[in-house]
Chains A and B, each alone.
Chain A
Amino acid sequence: MAGRVLRALLSQALGALGVVLVLASLVFLALRLLPGDPAALILGEQAPASARAELRSRLGFDQPLLVQYGRFVVGLIRLDLGQSLARPGRTAFGEVWGALGPTAALAGLAVALGAAGGVGAALLGVGPWLGAARRWVVRAVLVVAATPLLALAPLATYLLALRWRLVPLPGDPDGGFTGLVFASVLLGLPLGAQVARIARAALLEVTHAKFLEVAVAKGGGPWRVWVLHALPVASAPIVVVVATQLGALLGGAIVLERLFERPGLGSLMLGAYAARDIPVMEASVVASGLLFVVAQSLSAALQAAVDPRGGAA
């Protein structure tokens, strides 16, 4: 039994590492297949040939592709892909490390808010608290689920930040915590709507289960019946939804960082792309992939923990 669990964990970890390696190789190849001289792209066409040759040898671009790849993989393992080109004196992974915190805070808070809000909406949509008005909760969830974050976020920013001055303006350095919460709420909204839909379906499925009738017969109030008895059954599908939405969440985080001019992995990546800062680009893409894979593995483990019945595994 323990051996099986260990084997499953090992294969999960190997799979995760494989995904990161494939992504890393993809970005490596893409940056080397770039037509033209990368040094000219970075330094500009007017740069003297000697400076360009110096940069090429510093980046290792004058070596055969296989040698470059070997050095790249070793660099990945040692977490050392060289120095940033745009900001000399800083290592690529140092830049990534600094950007990781803000993005993790944004995504983590969004997951927490989205999950809590989604479960709350699902409970309100199923339970007896709102009476007939609970239909409107269901409809509101549908509307939110159908609204793309890309259309919603800029409009909400315009109304709340510019018109009504309720939240700090994008890029406001004094925005601090309120800005973070506002961005997280926006990022968590689509997630919350998905969670609400799935959680409501899962709750409706157990509505007529015997154990709920027993709970009611024992004199349990709606709170006790729904939250204590019904919700745990719905927890596994909720974790699954969050796991499947993680990729979209990361994409949303990049868009929101751009919108709010927040520092983070997304801003770092886009900046490095624009400046052709190859080491930072490689490091940030690999780090984002790693972040995604780790979060996904965590949610798989959590899924196994909350639902011991076990699925296909």
Chain B
Amino acid sequence: MSARRGERRALLAVVPVVVLALVTGGWALGSARSPTRITLELSWQAPSWARPLGSAEAGVDLLALLTHGTARALALAATVAAFGFVLGTPLGAAAGLRRGRVLAVTLRLCDLVQAFPSFLLALAVLSAVTAPSRAHLAGVFCLTSWAPFTRLAAAQARTLASAQFVEAARALGLRPWQVLARHVVPNLLGPVAIQAGGVAAGVVLGETALGFVGLGPSDGVSLGAVLEQGVAGMLRAPHVLAFGALAVAAASGSLQLASEGLRRWMLRAPAG
């Protein structure tokens, strides 16, 4: 019984990120507050009743800026993680089933891609555009987001390859891709999908870092831009920095928490 409760407790870890996504997403869609409207006379104003989080540079409503920025960061992270999952899982499963040299090369490639400074890659690729858009950023992150999924799928497929039902499928004369698609991939989807939380958290932080150094989306609505303004206005308006840092920590932290909770839940759940 206590194992059940432990399972449910582990699943609760998903709640913060779901709430954060729903609240910021709903707010961004439903509220009339604009994250870009400039009201110069309100520049750097402290929180008030009309503007609960105060104003940022050029009198932009900080509440609107942060909710839109968080929602867009989460949407970007979800897109990139989904892309990595869809591309990386079959790749890793195929390599894990083939074993031998293919597997070794694939794992080496994953090592390289995962260890490589994503910042450098982003800078190299983004130099092709004068003002990066969110689609460009998504493209940059998608270049590397498959690697964690591939690595895990390869490890899972390697153990599955010697399972009896896979051997039976082979013995029945199924082609390798049929074995892969029908028997291997469906059985490793769960554990591999859990990687998504970690990947998404990485994307949120990556987007924030790029925005902070001035390589963010050109519309200026991003958590990184808020942090950059917070640093620039540190003396006049420390609230911008405080709320910005809090939003970054909440977005990346809730994703990490969810991924950790799902991993625990997966470990406890009965195999099969």
Give Cα distance in the complex from A31 to B249, angstroms: 34
Contacts of A246 in B (CB 8 A): 115, 117
Q: Which of A261-290 contact B (CB under 8 A)?
A: 266, 269-270, 273-274, 281, 285, 288-289
Give Cα distance in the complex from A258 to B205, angstroms: 16
With A147-B249, A150-B209, A255-B209 as known contacts, state yes or no: A296 contacts B123, CB within 8 Å. no
Determine whether A217 belongs to the interface, using a CB cutoff of 8 Å to chain B.
no
Determine whether B155 belongs to the interface, using a CB cutoff of 8 Å to chain A.
no
Determine the residue in chain A with the shortest Cβ distance to B253. Answer: A146
Stretch touching chain A among B11-19, B33-41, B188-196, B240-248: B240-248
Determine whether A232 belongs to the interface, using a CB cutoff of 8 Å to chain B.
no
Determine whether A41 belongs to the interface, using a CB cutoff of 8 Å to chain B.
yes
Interface of A is mostly: helix
Whether A273 contacts B215 by the Cβ 8 Å rule is yes
Determine whether A248 belongs to the interface, using a CB cutoff of 8 Å to chain B.
yes
Contacts of A247 in B (CB 8 A): 115-119
- Interchain nearest-CB distance for B257 vs A (Å): 8
Contacts of B205 in A (CB 8 A): 148, 150
Determine whether B124 belongs to the interface, using a CB cutoff of 8 Å to chain A.
yes
Stretch touching chain B among A92-100, A151-159, A303-311: A151-159
Determine the residue in chain A with the shortest Cβ distance to B230. Answer: A154
- Interchain nearest-CB distance for B145 vs A (Å): 15
Give Cα distance in the complex from A199 to B123, angstroms: 33
Count residues of chain B with CB under 8 A from any CB of chain A: 41
Whether B248 contacts A148 by the Cβ 8 Å rule is yes
Whether A151 contacts B245 by the Cβ 8 Å rule is yes
Give Cα distance in the complex from A158 to B253, angstroms: 22
Give the one of A146, A244, A251, A270 with max B CB within 10 A.
Answer: A251
Stretch touching chain A among B48-56, B85-93, B125-133, B177-185: B125-133
Partner pick for A288 among B117, B213, B238, CB 8 A cutoff = B117
Determine the residue in chain A with the shortest Cβ distance to B206. Answer: A251
Contacts of A270 in B (CB 8 A): 213-215
Determine whether B138 belongs to the interface, using a CB cutoff of 8 Å to chain A.
no
Give Cα distance in the complex from A148 to B224, angstroms: 12
- Interchain nearest-CB distance for A48 vs B (Å): 21
Whether A150 contacts B213 by the Cβ 8 Å rule is no
Q: Which of A167-182 contact B (CB under 8 A)?
A: 170
Determine whether A33 belongs to the interface, using a CB cutoff of 8 Å to chain B.
yes
Determine whether A19 belongs to the interface, using a CB cutoff of 8 Å to chain B.
yes
Determine whether B45 belongs to the interface, using a CB cutoff of 8 Å to chain A.
no
Whether A150 contacts B215 by the Cβ 8 Å rule is no
Whether A30 contacts B127 by the Cβ 8 Å rule is yes
Whether B213 contacts A258 by the Cβ 8 Å rule is yes
Pairs A–B under 8 Å by Cβ, sample size 22: A19-B116, A23-B124, A30-B124, A30-B127, A30-B128, A34-B128, A34-B130, A35-B130, A146-B256, A148-B205, A151-B249, A154-B241, A154-B245, A155-B242, A157-B231, A158-B234, A158-B238, A162-B235, A247-B115, A254-B209, A289-B117, A292-B116
- B residues apposed to A, CB below 8 Å: 112, 114-121, 123-130, 205, 208-209, 212-215, 224, 227, 230-231, 234-235, 238, 241-242, 244-246, 248-249, 252-253, 256
Given contacts A154-B244, A274-B214, 13 further A-B contacts (CB under 8 A): A26-B125, A30-B127, A31-B127, A148-B253, A151-B246, A155-B245, A162-B234, A244-B115, A246-B115, A246-B117, A247-B118, A270-B213, A285-B123
